[in-house]
Amino acid sequence: MTDIEKLDLIDALNEAPISQFHTKAIFTSGMGFFTDAYDLFIIGTASTLIAKQWHLDSTQTGLINSMTLLGAFFGAIFYGRLADRVGRKKIYGLEAAVMVVAALASALSPNVVFLIVCRFILGLGVGGDYPVSAVIMSEYSNRKDRGKLVGLVFAMQALGTVTGYAAGLALLSSGLASPDVWRILLALGAVPAAAVLYSRRKMPESPRYLAMAQGRSAEALAAVAEYSEGVLRPTSVRASAKMSLAEFFSNRRYMLTLLGTAGSWFVFDYAYYGNSVSSPLIVKQVLGAHSTIEQSLALNLIMFTVAALPGYYLAAHFMDRIGHRRLQLIGFPMMGLMFLLIGVIPGITSTVVPFMLLFGASYYFAEFGPNETTFVLAAECFPTSARTTGHGISAGVAKLGAFIGVYLFPDISKAFGIGGALEFSAGMALVGTLLTFLIPETAQRSLEDITQEVVIVEAERIVAKAPAARPVP
């Protein structure tokens, strides 16, 4: 046998080389984030058209833009806990199905109330996708490449965003009537989620979850064989004590970490989603009153493709070398600095090129930093039996911040101008930087080392439970 075949199941997963399965898992998990990004960022364009057709006020438009994020708050917490209770695989296709149905129903909405309800239901699926996709990829990953593998799942968000901007621009330029444009835009959100429904249901359950959280050693060994296509044949299995919800919330170490992961993600999403969903409006204001929505979308597409898209993939590539927490500590201050400069430099929000350079740079450091690292860190810092719970709470709190940012940003920008709104976002970036210090550095470390779970070899656990031998008379 080779050295890797002699390892314990958990050690074998930690040291396994990147394989074809990892690539398939990145695509299967990542298409959920493609859908998430498309649905979340295309709504800013769609709601502009809907508001004109249905004569909506700013409150109604704000609810359309933000309701998916409020649904994501509940979905992340609910599905995150459920995945720790019943398994990652059982939840994995369910939230994708919710996204498919809700996206199609949104496109067929007869009125604003129906649309708002559908967007909320869509958010339940979007929120549920965060903890399950992040954790299942994290638990399948090896120790030295985990940041890259989980980061590449999240980086599919970039492709979803670009596709959303491109689809909006193409449909608006096609000459179709506005009702047809926004309905097609919303319906297209069902396509990528539907494409991975089957493959998600066929993925094996996480061997770590089966072994460490459930003590189901035989199923864990079968899952790791399926996962590795027969390459890994470990000789022993480890388990850990299952942690109840009460034990999780009473553990001071995990609660401080949760404050760091949820808090830093909350302030980031407030700033990022508030700016990003409203970016067509922001850019249109910078371009001037006579600009069109098509011009705004075109500039957003260029800016995101040039500035943000490379940030996602550079973060995934370098994260394990730089450090997961360290990269977050680089991205937060630099993103905040860009926001602050836009706020304090006189007249910059009325000059297109300087504004776009700084706004684009804020996108780059958001992606090459907290947008990706918040997702990765929350999937690494909690014990196996509470891992999707911890990630779900972190992602849910983050989406609550996003909901507040999206809903309030238009009113704040009206009251204080775009510069004032971005100065407030700079303050949020400072808070995020400070909260990051509560999170341990996770790069190049095994999940078991990070969480300090007490693990025992399965054979030893069985012996410990066996009755003591009788003394020889």
Maximum distance among all Cα pairs of the chain, rounded to whole angstroms: 101
pLDDT at 470: 37
Q: pTM for the full model?
A: 0.88
240 bridge partner residues = 455
DSSP string, 212-227: IIT--HHHHHHHHHHH
Q: Contacts for 191-195 with beta carbons within 8 Å, 24 or more apart?
A: 192/31, 192/34, 192/35, 192/38, 192/160, 193/31, 193/32, 193/35, 193/96, 193/97, 193/99, 193/100, 193/103, 193/125, 194/96, 194/100, 195/31
Return d(Cα 150, Cα 132) in angstroms, integer: 12
pLDDT at 111: 95
Return d(Cα 157, Cα 31) in angstroms, integer: 8
Mean pLDDT of each 10-residue bin along the chain, 473 residues long = 59 85 88 84 84 88 88 96 92 89 95 96 94 93 94 92 85 80 91 83 86 83 75 73 88 97 96 73 70 76 89 96 98 95 85 86 95 97 95 96 84 80 91 98 94 62 36 38
Return d(Cα 38, Cα 161) in angstroms, integer: 5
DSSP string, 14-60: HHPPP-HHHHHHHHHHHHHHHHHHHHHHHHHHHHHHHHHHHT--HHH
pLDDT at 289: 67
Burial 134-147 (b: 16+ CB within 10 A, else e): bbbbbbbbbbbbbb
SS3 175: coil
pLDDT at 279: 67
pLDDT at 466: 32
Reported residue count of the chain is 473
For the chain, domains (ranges, CATH) are 3-459 (1.20.1250.20)
Return d(Cα 260, Cα 366) in angstroms, integer: 17
